[in-house]
Chains A and B, each alone.
Chain A
Amino acid sequence: MEQVIDILSWAFLIAGGVFCVIGTIGLIRMPDMFTRLHGASVVDTLGMGFLIVGMILQAGFTLVAAKLIIIAALILLTTPVATHALAQAALHAGIRPKLDHDETGGHIAGEDASSNS
């Protein structure tokens, strides 16, 4: 039983670490700010989730596990808020997503054409 939990915990911790590295590689390699948000969200959901689950398996049914669950819930609640505010602020400041072929002519729906820069 002990060994099963250890092996599961190894798997979760390694998966979490791999997803953290993948997310931050995306943060480096993606072409513009709005696609980099996707790389950051991999770290915030899968990387964080797998690492926390791996640590909870090691902690067992204790106060430490409760604190880890609180941390996971807080991260899952707060990072979407921060990401949304960030994307909203970037659009507000006039940054436009990089498009392969621009069907709207640089025009974002619900905005007047004079604000394009």
Chain B
Amino acid sequence: MMYFVAMVAVLVSLGLALTRALLGPTMFDRVLAGNTIGTLAVLALALIGFVTGRPEFLDIAILYTLLNLVGTIAVLRYFKLSESAVPAAPEE
């Protein structure tokens, strides 16, 4: 029961973060919302593991935590590189 209450709160937060990702005026707002959605998804996965009594979901949550960082950095890097297609000072 207590996991369901926490699950509802996490799902409501996911909806709000998704709203920001859809509204976001700039690309960085969307990346920020994506990062938050990743954290909330990890929490939701851990809670699902407790609700269904299957601790294997925690392993998926660990993997998703690492993918979240890599994904955010990769998206930022991609936009930075596509921006500097315009001649600019070489990056160190």
Contact = CB atoms under 8 A, between A and B. Distances in A.
A63 B58 CA distance: 10
* Interface size class, chain A: 35 or more
Contact of A37 (B9, B13, B32, B83): B32
Contacts of B79: 89, 93
Nearest to B61: A71
The binding surface of chain B is classed by DSSP as helix
B73 to A, nearest CB: 6
B83 A93 contact: yes
A95 interface: yes
A64 interface: yes
Contacts of A43: 13, 36, 39-40
For B2, B17, B29, B83, which residue has the most chain A Cβ atoms within 10 angstroms? B2
Interface in A62-105: 63-64, 67-68, 70-71, 74-75, 78-79, 81-83, 85-86, 89-90, 92-93, 95
Give me the 7 closest cross-chain CB pairs, A-B, nearest first: A17-B9, A24-B16, A78-B69, A20-B13, A24-B13, A67-B58, A13-B6
